[in-house]
Amino acid sequence: MCGIFGLATIGRSPDDLEIVRKSMERVRHRGPDDSSIVSIGCDGPRITLGHARLAVIGGANAIQPLEWKKERSLFYLVVNGEIYNYQELREELVEAALCKPDEFKTNGDSEVLMACLVHQGLEWTLKNIVGMYAFVLVESTACNGKIDSITMCRDAFGIKPLCFGIDHQHKTLVISSEMAAIPESFHYVHVKDVLPSTYVKVECCIECDTLRWSMTETAYRRELELKSFDSQKNIEENIPTKLIRQRLIDAVTVRIPKDGVKWGVLLSGGLDSSLIASIAADIVYPSPLYTFTITYSPDDQGVVHVADSDMCHARIVANSRPNIIHDEVTFSFQDGLDVLSSVVSSVETMDVAVVRASVPLYLLSRYISSKNFKVVLCGEGADETFAGYRLFEDYLPSSNDDCKKFANELERRLFQIDTSELQRVDRCTSAHGLEARVPFMDVSFVETVLGIDHKEIQKYILRSAFDGYLPDSVVYREKEQFADGIGPSWVAKLQAHATEAFPQNEAKEESEATLYKTLLQFPPKSKQQLPFEIRELLIEERKARRRKNTDGKISRPGSSQPFRWHKVRHDVDLQKINLTLDDAHHFLRNVLGWSSNAIKSLSHNLESLNNLIVSMLSRVPFHNLTLLTRERRPPTMTEIKDDMMKGLGGPCSVVNAFFSILLDKLGFGPHIYLLSCRINGRNDCHVAILLQMKGLRYFVDVANAKPYTRAVHLGDTTVNACLNGSFRWRLAYSSESNMMQVRHIIGTEETVAVEFHPASTVQYNSFYDMIRKSRSEVSFGPFLTGLRLCLFPKDATEIVAVRDACIYDGNSMNCKRCASCRHDLLKIAKRDAFDHMEGFDELVKNAIDVLDREHPEWLDASPYPSSTALQMSDSGGVGMGVPVCKDNSERIGSSVITKDRESTESQMEEDVFHEEQ
């Protein structure tokens, strides 16, 4: 890592050297080991180039600007960055007889870069070098020193910064690693970034008999493109996990410094930095690897609450490798406040999210530098490459339109990362003479990832590639913003400080933004810079690049990402169920019928999850019996636990809520949530489960009148079938409602049964109104006016159900008949499928008694005509009144042969709202 400053003018300017010398002091932090300045040109165009060096590769004589002569041309080069494959390139140049070994005066990478530029040309060099770089190449005529061209270039992702400004009136070109180095006297220059994957060529030309600078901007890399997405393709197919894993290992390997340079890894405890640290530790083993973590001490006494912090997860990673030597740093609010002005000046932004995350990194970099380290590896870039941000949850993978928007957002974040994460990392580390290397930004690695049909969120592909490489608590840790991970109270206290300073703002984020703008507008006297209006232009241009094509999903600057993920393990109400691991095993054994060996061999994978789902459908009934027989109020958590531990089951709010807690206790968490569902246009009338496993979100529902026999991830739209194919269903996306749908399939027709939004989970208390209505208001549905009972015994290959006076009994949804009398309904409760349920037959009897008492018209005591089958009520499915029978079917024994089966089933599906209740 180094600092660059250059000043080019047309005509003699006696002050150039002094201006460059003073400006070099402002980038000296980027290269504290050495610096030099050279002036190029005579009459006409001239350039004075300065370079501040951090000595990592090349030895003491690798001083820049470098000089190389070829025929009649003389080349000069200053570079900021590292070329990782410089040794291979050097051998290639020598083998091709383009260079002689003795032409190389240093052992450094920069000289090899220059040799490539001189002998192979710019395009070949940019295609073949591997590394991070920002450089300025000057080509001049050897005989008279005339400058032919000045070329400025940045790497594919803009890991290293470079900006410039041209003023035609004053015939001035200024070049700098950081905007802060440009003197305040250059207020007439419009400063711009050299864009990533771009080189800018400046030449002196004659226009209207006057010499002036002309500029050509060229994008040199376009193969870094996302593969087109297929929304119907299975999310788990064709992911080359072994290749991705090896590519990242290779990227880490080439970035590990050689020649005894002291280096380490920034280890936050998140997935990305944890992978970099563990890979690096494995590569250098048994040599030690130094890792560093910083966290916030909210009481200013150095006391850290470790349980859910970055520090906790960083310790897990450090303990997983015997050669990691881990160092932990804490900072207080005053520590952060003391450096806030310097941080804002260094990162060159007013973006509140960037600034608040920069403070701890700035402090950590200062500490690491004080220990004489020169290089650190970090985990930036994975969130942009693998869709790690929460914002990506808004894009539904079953929608073709959303797949396109997803691709646009991924591309926007990845190719503008130099305006956010890379800018933060570069400025904070370089402020203390540290070089940050970013393995996730390796071009070959990114090309591999982008070549996949890439619609997975939450870094699913990366997690899959390194499944088992680290503890699951790290590999599958949920994404947190850096400032949140080190301690959310840091952000809260910072906002409180800003609000106190600027109370006139309505929102705390606005006060925070005003604070940073003020600090940037009035830097310390020792850091006098360009007028704020000039600096603000570049800041706004960077922001505009970052927010280009945002699809309107960018929130107010600095606002926290919406908190929509209410984990059941943190749900105050559900925790009152107080389910222990022993309780969970008791439930599996006594209610679900699992053997001790099956319980011991339970794994936290999709197969085990589906086995649990089938067991729930087979052994725990969905019904409205307790709604009818108990006091008309929401059940207590104790009642829910007692009912479920006895296998009695209950309505959806009871069964699915309990199952979510059971899954969490069995180790399928922590990413388990409740979904509020819509049925037939009615919101919040059904409870389902959203479970995130290994980066994928799955829909789960074990409390429904239809058997959803497996967890289905939200990108899977394939048709599922059960009950001998008589029931078919699938997930799909609706562009009209902008929601995911569970669709039932009859013939070629699809009927919407359940709708939900997968990015809006809820807490259990949000269902209280639904529960209250279902226990007190007849108008809410059939809970209080008819009998609802459903079980799918024998591994969900059969159905035993009661829907008012209609009985389903057999291995198909078509095995349907009328209940001939009250006794026929009671007999269902004595079936073998209910034997394991304590008091279940009595519960059915009591429910029928309540219905007879409150709705005497519900079930006539006399048998129905034996020659007819039950027709579903068209009056809303409430179930009041004696059911009407049709003449187009006839009873044979206890079953019904329906002559117009398809018509009857279609009518059933029209009544799906009440059936799903």
The per-residue pLDDT for 649 is: 94
Give the CA distances from residue 723 to residues 641, 795, 894, 905, in Å, rounded to whole numbers and listed in that order: 30, 10, 19, 15
Q: Each residue of 598-653: pLDDT tens digit?
A: 999 999 889 999 999 999 999 999 999 988 888 878 889 999 999 999 999 999 99
Token pair of 188 as six digits: 């007439």
pLDDT of 76 over the 90 cut: yes
Q: What are phi and psi of 681, to 5 degrees?
A: 80, 0
Token pair of 626 as six digits: 């307790």
Kindly report which listed range (227-241, 336-350, 781-795) carries the lowest average pLDDT score: 227-241
pLDDT of 539 over the 60 cut: yes
Q: How confident is the model at residue 550 (pLDDT cuts 50, 70, 90)?
A: low
Q: Which residue has the higher pLDDT, 259 or 338?
A: 338
Q: What is the DSSP secondary-structure string of 688-715?
A: EEEEEETTEEEEE--SSSS---S-EETT
Task: Provide mean pLDDT across the span 70-86.
Answer: 94
pLDDT of 883 over the 50 cut: no
3-state SS class at 885: strand
Report the 10 Å Cβ neighbour count for 201.
Answer: 17
Residue 297 carries which side chain, given as an amino acid letter?
Answer: S
Burial environment of residue 643 by CB neighbours within 10 A (0 to 12, 13 to 18, 19 or more): buried
Q: Are 653 and 771 in contact (CB under 8 A)?
A: yes
**Straight-line distance from the first to the last Cα atom of the chain, in angstroms, rounded to the nearest whole number:** 64
The per-residue pLDDT for 783 is: 67
Any residues with CB less than 8 A from the CB of 706 and at least 6 apart, and which?
727, 729, 744, 753, 915, 916
pTM of the complete model: 0.76
Q: What are phi and psi of 196, to 5 degrees?
A: -60, 150
Residue that is written with structure tokens 């739209």 in the block: 717
The CA distance from 237 to 735, in Å, is 25
Q: What is the DSSP secondary-structure string of 432-451?
A: TT-EEE-GGG-HHHHHHHHT
pLDDT of 914 over the 50 cut: no
Token pair of 313 as six digits: 């997860």
Beta bridge partners of 377: 265, 437
Kindly report which listed range (196-200, 467-471, 818-822) carries the lowest average pLDDT score: 818-822
Task: Provide mean pLDDT across the span 314-321.
Answer: 95
pLDDT of 305 over the 60 cut: no
The per-residue pLDDT for 915 is: 38
The CA distance from 96 to 92, in Å, is 6
Closest CA to 330 of 346, 354, 309, 352: 309
Burial environment of residue 145 by CB neighbours within 10 A (0 to 12, 13 to 18, 19 or more): middle
Half-sphere exposure of residue 444: CA atoms within 13 angstroms, side-chain side: 18
Helix axes 508-521, 333-347, angle to 10 degrees: 60
The per-residue pLDDT for 1 is: 76
Residue 652 carries which side chain, given as an amino acid letter?
Answer: C
3-state SS class at 816: strand
pLDDT of 721 over the 90 cut: yes
Beta bridge partners of 727: 722
The CA distance from 408 to 194, in Å, is 23
The per-residue pLDDT for 484 is: 53
Q: Which residue has the higher pLDDT, 566 or 875?
A: 566
The per-residue pLDDT for 98 is: 93
Kindly report which listed range (310-314, 380-384, 751-755) carries the lowest average pLDDT score: 310-314
Q: What are phi and psi of 814, to 5 degrees?
A: -85, -10
Task: Provide mean pLDDT across the span 454-460.
Answer: 69
Half-sphere exposure of residue 815: CA atoms within 13 angstroms, side-chain side: 15
Q: Each residue of 369-391: pLDDT tens digit?
A: 999 999 999 999 998 988 877 66
The per-residue pLDDT for 690 is: 94
Q: Each residue of 176-211: pLDDT tens digit?
A: 999 999 988 888 888 999 999 999 999 888 666 567
Any residues with CB less than 8 A from the CB of 525 and at least 6 apart, and which?
none
Q: Are 802 and 705 in contact (CB under 8 A)?
A: no
Kindly report which listed range (408-412, 481-485, 629-633, 782-786) carries the lowest average pLDDT score: 481-485
The per-residue pLDDT for 303 is: 56
pLDDT of 903 over the 50 cut: no
The per-residue pLDDT for 905 is: 36
Q: Each residue of 145-180: pLDDT tens digit?
A: 789 999 999 999 999 999 999 887 778 899 999 999
Strand residues in 354-403 grouped as ranges (E):
375-377
Kindly report which listed range (63-77, 213-227, 254-268) carries the lowest average pLDDT score: 213-227
The per-residue pLDDT for 909 is: 35
pLDDT of 233 over the 70 cut: no
